[in-house]
Amino acid sequence: MTETKTAQLRPRQAVERMGEYHPPLAGREGLLRLDFNENTSAPSPRVLERLRSLSALELTKYPEREPAEHIVAKHFGFPPDQVMLTNGVDEAIHLLTSTFLDPGDEVIIATPTFAMYDIQAQAAGATIHRIASGRDFAFPFAAVMQQITERTRFIPIASPNNPTGAVVSRDHILAIAAAAPQAVILADEAYYHFHGETVLRDVATVPNLFVVRTFSKVYGLAGLRLGVIFGPADPMRFLRKAASPYNVNAAALACVQPALEDEAYVRWYVEEIHYSRALLETALVDLAVPHWPSHSNYILMHIGDRFQELIDHMRSRGVLLRSRNTDPGCAGCVRMSVGTREDTQQGITALRATLKEMQWQKPK
Ligand SMILES: *Cc1c(COP(=O)(O)O)cnc(C)c1O
């Protein structure tokens, strides 16, 4: 008989301390998904065709990331060593935090914003300084600048920001990068297409600037998990070291070229979003629902105490919305994505009926 030992399996302290993050992904089939800012239509037909043509060989052999990275590099006019494909932007964020953060390093996050920055910084054991945006959700530039110290190692900035739809100017991003040369500055351009401003070209000259783009939003490929990170050549070497050589699957890699090439598809979907966003904006003004101006494919609204009732009623009418009630500064807020004009019109019709049925009144 072996002796029974009482030692217990324990995670790292940083992981043990973390909260759990469970986005509401269950039971979304057959409903109009205006809750995750996904494309509500379909990817480019060229992408679908390529997926249908996947060969047995492509599936049996390990995926090779490099040829697809060359396609991306060429498309964006970058040297290949400054481009890396990832398993969604989520993996890019994870790679940045695991490559550049030691426990106790400082991270600055302007809130509210995308949850994954905070989650990955926590997992790395970093000290997180969360800076609240004002009531208008403008990026708190001065406060971020003030928080920078020698120990600051990571400043993620989403523009357009999720869930607010606010944007951060190029001047502000570059000023932050210059003030914190020892820190990774991440410009998250997941929603770039819906706004059109970018710092991608600045990657060539700013030695600590990284830019990420995703195939989950405008390209309609959230299910494939595909993202791309652009960064200075030297630091990118470390990211590659930290990543699995097979991090992006063969189906996703096969879609890179047709997705990037079908620019007419992207233009069409961006036009749909611009039209739909104006439609929702007009409806919210008409319904007297307080909301924030958005440069993206969603609008954040302030519903007040009855936010959950609204979400439940909308679900019973077949439309999913996302509560942002627990985000900093967002009590009583609900985010509604926009999609094709047809889908957005359906969402607005349901919203009108729901607010009426609830006899909802503008919160004081
Ligand atoms: C949706 C979203 C992403 C996309 O992440 P993927 O992992 O590529 O799906 C990245 N950043 C922000 C701010 C987002 O809202």
How sure is the predictor about 52, in pLDDT bands with cuts at 50, 70 and 90?
very high
87 pLDDT higher than 80: yes
Fold of the CATH domain 66-255: Aspartate Aminotransferase; domain 2 (3.40.640)
* Proportion of the chain above pLDDT 70, given as a percent: 100
**Ligand 1 mean position to 85 CA, how many Å?**
14
Of 253, 222, 226, nearest to 55 (Cα)? 253
**Ligand 1 mean position to 91 CA, how many Å?**
10
190 Cβ closer than 6 Å to some ligand 1 atom: yes
11 pLDDT higher than 80: yes
Q: Report pLDDT for 6.
A: 87
Q: Report pLDDT for 4.
A: 81
243 Cβ closer than 6 Å to some ligand 1 atom: no
Q: What is the atom index within ligand 1 of the atom nearest the CA of 158?
A: 13
pLDDT tens per residue across span 228-255 = 999 999 999 999 999 999 999 999 999 9
Determine the Cα–Cα distance for residues 100 and 239; give it in Å rounded to an integer: 9
- Which tokens is 39 given? 């494309």
Q: Report pLDDT for 112.
A: 98
How sure is the predictor about 325, in pLDDT bands with cuts at 50, 70 and 90?
very high
158 Cβ closer than 6 Å to some ligand 1 atom: yes
The stretch 158-185 carries a mean pLDDT of: 98
363 pLDDT higher than 90: no
Q: Report pLDDT for 173.
A: 98
How sure is the predictor about 1, in pLDDT bands with cuts at 50, 70 and 90?
low
**Ligand 1 mean position to 216 CA, how many Å?**
7
Determine the Cα–Cα distance for residues 146 and 144; give it in Å rounded to an integer: 5
pTM of the complete model: 0.96
284 pLDDT higher than 70: yes
Mean pLDDT rounded to a whole number for the chain: 97
* 87, 167, 217, best to mutate for ligand 1 pocket (most atoms within 8 Å of CB): 217
Determine the Cα–Cα distance for residues 92 and 157; give it in Å rounded to an integer: 14
CATH number belonging to domain 13-41+264-357 = 3.90.1150.10
**Ligand 1 mean position to 8 CA, how many Å?**
36
3 pLDDT higher than 90: no
Q: Report pLDDT for 364.
A: 81
Of 322, 281, 265, 283, nearest to 24 (Cα)? 322
Angle between helices 341-358 and 263-286 (to 10 degrees): 20
* 21, 114, 191, best to mutate for ligand 1 pocket (most atoms within 8 Å of CB): 114
Q: Where are the domains of the chain?
A: 13-41+264-357, 66-255
**Ligand 1 mean position to 359 CA, how many Å?**
35
Tokens 């999913």, located at residue:
320
Determine if the peptide bond prior to 24 is cis (ω within 30°).
no
The stretch 135-150 carries a mean pLDDT of: 97
Q: What is the atom index within ligand 1 of the atom nearest the CA of 226?
A: 8
Label residues 271-289 b or e (16+ Cβ within 10 Å = b). ebbeebbebbeebbeebeb
**Ligand 1 mean position to 212 CA, how many Å?**
9
The stretch 93-112 carries a mean pLDDT of: 97
Label residues 164-182 b or e (16+ Cβ within 10 Å = b). bbbbbeeebbbebbeebee
The stretch 29-51 carries a mean pLDDT of: 97
Q: What is the atom index within ligand 1 of the atom nearest the CA of 215?
A: 8
The stretch 252-262 carries a mean pLDDT of: 98
| 102 CB-side CA count, 13 A | 1
Determine the Cα–Cα distance for residues 36 and 187; give it in Å rounded to an integer: 20
296 Cβ closer than 6 Å to some ligand 1 atom: no
**Ligand 1 mean position to 36 CA, how many Å?**
10
Determine the Cα–Cα distance for residues 285 and 302; give it in Å rounded to an integer: 12
95 Cβ closer than 6 Å to some ligand 1 atom: no
